[in-house]
A and B are shown apart, each in its own frame.
Chain A
Amino acid sequence: MIFNSLAFFAFIGIFFPVYFMLKGKARLWLCLVGSYFFYGWWDERFLTLIIFSTLIDYSIGLMLDKEVVQKRRKRLLTISMVVNLGFLGFFKYFNFFVESFQDLVLSMGMTPSYNTLHIILPMGISFYTFQSMSYTIDVYYKKIPVEPDLVRFATFISFFPQLVAGPIVRAKEFLPQFKMDKKFDWNRFNSGTGQMLWGFFKKMVVADSLAPFIDQCFAAPETFSSLHLMVGVIFYSFQIYCDFSGYSDIAIGLARTMGFDFPNNFRTPYFSTGFSEFWQRWHITLSSWFRDYLYIPLGGSRNGTFNTYKNTMLTNLLSGLWHGANWVFVFWGFLHGIYIIIQRVIGPYFGRLMDAMRLPKMGRASVNIFLVYTATCFAWIFFRATDFGNALDVIYGIGKFENFTVSSIVNKFWFVKGVIVIGLLLLVEVADLKFNFAHLVKKQPVFRAVSFATVMMLIAFFGTFGSNAFIYFVF
């Protein structure tokens, strides 16, 4: 079930009143059944996997709690990792690795014999696997107590607002919240509804309005002018941002209305002045997951410059692979790894150059934002492309600087609408930095009524109503 569908509105129309009527265990059961219903709406076969994964990590958690022999504890943790990553590897990467192996063998002049399987990718498997793994790792390191209640644990894994595309919420932050009694709270309802509405705006007005222009660009890049393709890439940077952060906003808003606090997943990432900062503003819960469960255990920045760069690169490569079973995603991760390393190497010299130019603080920030945004857009080309050939066609198309005039842009109506909706988005995001709309929505009923009505009108006038799936569902 996707958020921007009539089925979902019918679902929450029934779910919410019942949720607030129930208490304690009954409410927990409702959350679990509701979450499985929400997830099974796509394909009931997905449920088998999530239930199995839940049972494994629940049981291993209990065993880890009882076990005192370190060697055996380690073995249990290994089993959990193998099962979780095994599922992920099989369902998401099996065909990818088989095909990559075949290409490698072919390139060596041999003829491989191989089979790929018709595997369906269960929605959100990367998200709930990481959430589940973080629980087992934290129990292993005794950072959190074990969860003895199976229903609570199962709800933690499958909680419908964030099940399919995050944010990834750690057990330490999430499980204790199930134990608190949650009464209907107007403040939570008001701000939660506001965040959901803004999420719908981002998804339906910005992301889905830009989609046709971008799809056309990447489907046949050789047929478009340089400017058209460049606009396509810029549009994609906003599409992916609004699609994903829109989903996060809806998830966070939904959870808040239900009485749960989720961490923020995006903080105006395109205003980043550096690449490390970008990852503190983009998909924050995934970046911090990789930092805490991969980068730091690998040694982080503790063992000299070479190891720091090696750990940075490895983390980024795996982050790329997490996004999808395609080498273009790995390359996207590689580019971001390179960006961070380059920034660390030349950052001090660049800072001195800026000092020498005596640029004002604002000008300096603008140059940095521009550079980070441009490099990020370049990396997005690989993220969006179907393969390297497609990405190179787009890059070549832009790089040849052929027909760099506005008249060369095909379908100007998509273009004009795209510019308008991106303008609206930026206007609100910049104004929000000054006025803090979330606070105004909470405190000022008049502002709330007017702003919500305005956003609803903007959605009616500019929105794309096609129940288009979120891009991150396939990750």
Chain B
Amino acid sequence: MTGNHSAWEKVQLARHAQRPTAKLLIHTLAPDFLELKGDRCFANDDAIVGGIGTIDKITMTIIAEEKGTTLEEKIRNHFGMPHPEGYRKVMRLVRQAEKFSRPILFLIDTPGAYPGFEAESRGQAEAIASLLRLLFTIKTPIIAVVLSEGGSGGALAIGIADYILMLENATYSILSPEGFAAILYKDASLANKVADDMKLTADDLFAYGIIDEIIPEAAGGWHIDNYTPLSALQTKITEKARSLLQLDPKTLLENRQARYRRYGIYVEDKT
């Protein structure tokens, strides 16, 4: 891999103010993208953008966590932190994708699911749990890309996939380093100290088998050269979608189950 950034530097790069968001990727790779809104229950959540688009002749359902680029957008999108209605929109769109046999592309970029009164009132935990379970029954290929920040259950909820790509300077972790430090050491300012121990870089996750492939960024990060990772992503996404479409739905689901079944490291005494 290029660059020798520390884990904490990668956290900063993944959150860089000029770092592109999912929007750029969608409009570059799928210029015909049409956004579909709403969960049909409560509201539309702009933290999650969903719709249909064609990437190199493959029509896909594309679902992305979108932090927004302007201040106005960032506030409207809650800085990419989805509410339950966002996850329920995902449930609607993945069922739709399955019905029409469209492969699904998830683009992950969130500090986490929104922690607030409204989100809790409308069942944040239930929404994430139900989405996790649903994704193990969706009989169409799922490809996920960790674009920038992959924070906790909010990222995992759209992280169940048959093939997972991750940008070089993206992070993916159980919690933000700030939250992690606050829980373990009661001091969020220790975030830079714990980032390394958290093993949240693409290299770490590749070594653990959590992700399948790392997509290189230009030296200095994605914001230095917008298009370096995009052309590689286009190739990988379409290549993988095509090969996964060859599998019969039963095998596809069995493989997806098997992938997540093996996660976990423990000791089992023989005696």
The answer to whether A and B come from one shared complex is no
Contacts from A to B (Cβ < 8 Å)? none
Contacts from B to A (Cβ < 8 Å)? none
